[in-house]
Amino acid sequence: MKFSELGLNEALLKAIKRSGFEEATPIQAETIPLALAGKDVIGQAQTGTGKTAAFGLPILQQLEKHAKAIQAIVVEPTRELAIQTQEELFRLGRDEHAHVQVVYGGADIGRQIKSLKHTTPAILVGTPGRLLDHLKRKTIDLSQVRTVVLDEADEMLDMGFIQDIESIFEYAKNRQHTLLFSATMPKPILRIGEKFMDHPEVVRIKAKELTADLIDQYFVRAKEAEKFDIMCRLIDVQGPDLAVVFGRTKRRVDELTHGLQARGYNAAGIHGDLSQARRMSVLKRFRDGKLDILVATDVAARGLDISGVTHVYNYDIPQDPDSYVHRIGRTGRAGQNGISVTFVTPNEIGYMRTIEQLTKKKMSPLRPPTDDQALHGQLKVAKAQIEDLLNDDLTKYEDEANAMLESYSAVDLVAAFLKNLSKDASDVKVKITPEKPLPYKGNGRGGHRGNNNGNRRYRGGHHDRRDRNDRHSDHRRARRGRANGHDFVIKKK
């Protein structure tokens, strides 16, 4: 369905066209008419399906341009997602001259207060904790708010923000309608709808749309001690334009980042211990294409909306199967193909089967590439770099080049250059501290949802707290073995 069929005004249609979009995504096509009609909506959709425009466009169209009051608030679980949402709403509302401001923790609250006093935003985007800080300080007034949006509600549930959200609702008692979006719909999320929403319309995106049919999903069965070398060989052969590597803990992200950098890959990592300025700097470099590989924890990467990601590598299988949907959603966007590769230890096969049940799509086994295949991939990149260099002016190097040709053959010189540009994994040894496999005790067919003896889902923020506090002890027992699976295949995209 085209945006022009959804009842949006000309200014917004102009902004949409400027952004390069013509047809609405399923969540947009179903949500926008309902929101314009003032109905409460519960939308099930993952990040990357266009949720921001789904709730943002109706809000922008219904703003009273001359009112000096906050008319809508958008609650996001993380500062990164809050910033991205503010930026997109600003772009979409530029022709409407809509003032959108963002508030989040980890930034100077005094500066935020000064900005709020200078100009009252029509739309306020924020994280739950910082919104409550401002409400308690009476630096924002939600008495005239007409629309409240809860985005990534399941993530806010996992991070322990439900009480904060309920408090925010109490401050926005005069709201006229509420929009709630979540990738999954656990019972606590549905209870929020029952408590704070008025006969909400439920918009569900089918499972096949949630998992993105354009993503080729593979798994590599490997012992813990093998995973890093296998991942490096995969990166060499697949040659991703932009890749995201997911690690389970902050320590894991740091070690993976340092290991990739040591082997010559253009990589950087983000997790909860980094300063906000550092995280935003890394994300900007990745978004601008100045980084090839982003290494991240689930918490740090939640809500990232970066186009052009071609590959996702799940170095650690997620503790919560629902998180898998969020992870692979970093790729396969805007009609582009993507590849996800999940590394699974023998003891974690049951978790993988549960993920397959959740996504309703089986992962294909992948046999890791050999060292020779990896070298071929490295040389291909090296030759491309040489071809780029040959397009430059090399005149000032010709005398030295001729002098070297008197002592060495052209073949030897080119071979030495190729060796210097390529990365031989055997030259740089990297040790990644082993992590204990997830304590799955199910039967490999989804039993871990219902069994309370070690098979419970890791919800309630367990994996988030581990990312913030890194409480779990180191597990030093290295594992070695041989990976299984089908022969390595590269699909032309």
Task: Give CA–CA dist 13/370, Å, rounded.
Answer: 51
Report the side by side order of strands in the sheet with 41-44.
100-103, 123-126, 72-75, 147-150, 177-182, 41-44, 201-204
**In a shared domain, residues 180 and 239:** no
pLDDT score at 162: 86
Has residue 378 been placed in a domain?
Answer: no
pLDDT score at 272: 77
Has residue 384 been placed in a domain?
Answer: no
For residue 426, give Cα distances in angstroms to 152, 313, 429, 493.
Answer: 43, 21, 7, 30
**In a shared domain, residues 290 and 314:** yes
pLDDT tops 60 at residue 11: yes
Banded model confidence at residue 482, pLDDT cuts 50, 70, 90: very low
**In a shared domain, residues 225 and 161:** no
Contact (CB, 8 A) for 318 and 291: no
Task: Give CA–CA dist 471/358, Å, rounded.
Answer: 29
Contact (CB, 8 A) for 44 and 182: yes
> Which residue range forms the structural domain that includes residue 58?
3-205
SS3 state at 131: helix
**In a shared domain, residues 230 and 292:** yes
**In a shared domain, residues 142 and 101:** yes
**In a shared domain, residues 300 and 222:** yes
CATH code of the domain covering residue 128: 3.40.50.300
pLDDT tops 70 at residue 453: no
pLDDT tops 50 at residue 489: no
Residue range 75-91: mean pLDDT, rounded: 90
pLDDT tops 90 at residue 425: no
pLDDT score at 311: 94
- Domain count across the chain: 2
pLDDT tops 80 at residue 210: no
Give the residue, 413 or 142, on which the prediction is more confident. 142
pLDDT tops 80 at residue 299: no
Has residue 150 been placed in a domain?
Answer: yes
Has residue 389 been placed in a domain?
Answer: no
pLDDT score at 243: 94
**In a shared domain, residues 24 and 147:** yes
Residue range 406-435: mean pLDDT, rounded: 79
Q: How many CA atoms lie within 13 A of 185 on its CB side?
A: 17
Q: What is the average pLDDT value for the chain, to the nearest integer?
A: 81
Maximum average pLDDT range among 154-163, 263-272, 445-454: 263-272
Contact (CB, 8 A) for 62 and 12: no
Task: Give CA–CA dist 140/116, Å, rounded.
Answer: 7
Give the residue, 475 or 310, on which the prediction is more confident. 310
Has residue 488 been placed in a domain?
Answer: no
Has residue 153 been placed in a domain?
Answer: yes
pLDDT tops 60 at residue 490: no
Has residue 406 been placed in a domain?
Answer: no
Phi/psi at 484 (5° precision):
-120, 165
Among residues 170, 205, 240, the one where a domain terminates is: 205
What's the pLDDT tens digit per position in 170-194? 999 999 999 999 888 888 888 888 8
**In a shared domain, residues 352 and 254:** yes
What's the pLDDT tens digit per position in 433-445? 887 766 554 444 3
Has residue 326 been placed in a domain?
Answer: yes
Residue range 259-284: mean pLDDT, rounded: 88
Banded model confidence at residue 491, pLDDT cuts 50, 70, 90: very low
pLDDT score at 301: 75
Least confident piece of the model among 2-11, 289-298, 403-412:
403-412
**In a shared domain, residues 143 and 287:** no
Contact (CB, 8 A) for 326 and 298: yes
**In a shared domain, residues 185 and 298:** no
Radius of gyration of the chain (CA): 25
Name 457's Cβ contacts closer than 8 Å, sequence gap at least 6.
320, 321, 322, 448, 449
In our burial notation (b when 16+ CB lie closer than 10 A, e otherwise), range 357-388 reads ebbebebeebebbeeebbbebbeeebeeeeee
**In a shared domain, residues 158 and 244:** no
**In a shared domain, residues 97 and 11:** yes
pLDDT score at 45: 76
DSSP state, residue 103: E
Q: If you count them, how many residues does the chain have?
A: 493
Closest to 183 (Cα-Cα) out of 80, 302, 287, 283:
302
pLDDT tops 90 at residue 65: no
pLDDT score at 42: 94
pLDDT score at 363: 92
Task: Give CA–CA dist 203/179, Å, rounded.
Answer: 11
pLDDT score at 321: 66
Percent of the chain with pLDDT over 70: 82
